[in-house]
Amino acid sequence: MGGRASVMLVGGGPAALARVFALADRCEQLWSRFLPDSDVTRLNWAEGRAIEVDPLTVRLIIAMTEAAALTSGDYDPTLLPDLVAAGYAASVLTPDRITTLPASARAPGNLRGIVIDGSTIRMPLGTTIDPGGIGKGLAADIVCEDALAGGAWGALAEIGGDIVVAGQAPDDVAWRLGIENPLRFAENAIDTAPERSAIVRLASGALVTSSQRKRRWSTAQGDRHHLISPRTHLSALTRIQTVSVIAATGARAESLTKPGFLRDTTEYLAWLPTVGAAGLVIDDTGTLTSSANWKNYS
């Protein structure tokens, strides 16, 4: 999925760490759009045929459909052709790995038309999917679940910047998590710019930060980033630099960040608590704006 991973366990030894890292790698091998034999690539090239996939991939597809419904389509994993057309075809970590799509691929695809029958998935002709952010959040959820099931007292999994915590924290109270200052490495950043914009304490659940500054590239038409608007099919034009969301799971938190780049900030932050989440938005001046319930975690 094009990101790095780290795991911290409370009450788990080297064998437990090795097991959960192997599970994270399994998710990568199944879900990466940059790998030619992953479940996701096989589905993207199925062109309407039913494909047998791993149960973890079934869980991914279910998470995608739930996220699209939750966000009224602001999260749309079928915009992969737009993302590739915008210039994000190669993996950031391994640029020799390239996303390829069939000629039939269209954006948007028909997410509601995906049929799941046990471990078999059929996607409508022309529909392709990008696990992108939600795959990272879901993988972190799965790693923490497995760690606790394997006997660890507590677990923290960070996959591509999506953080999930579960069980006992190191101090027996809550995990202390930082949110990176998105302007720290800007061209005009001052040396005294803080490394972190905020610190939160989270007993369980997820903290996910999405940023338009992480995956950027230049084109003849100007700078582009990986956050594609379902309305314009181009990189979202917004002053918002990062959106951080706290929610019950990594998959849910990840999906809830996307509307923060597309909606009015005041309305978005008022909406988050109604879906069981809290949010923090940082704009291009470094101004922080949060939902009313964010203070519960600071």
Q: What is the mean pLDDT of residues 31-40?
A: 97
| CA 256 vs CA 26, 180, 262: distances in Å | 25, 18, 11
pLDDT digits (tens, 9 = 90+) for 123-150: 999 999 999 889 999 999 999 999 999 9
The domains located in the chain, with CATH, are 33-130 (1.10.3980.10), 174-297 (3.10.520.10)
Q: Which of 133, 135, 130, 120 is nearest to 53 (CA)?
A: 120
Statement: the pTM of the whole predicted model exceeds 0.95: no
pLDDT digits (tens, 9 = 90+) for 46-59: 999 999 999 999 99
CB 233 within 8 A of CB 86: no
What are the tokens at 297?
A: 């975690």
What are the tokens at 31?
A: 């879900």
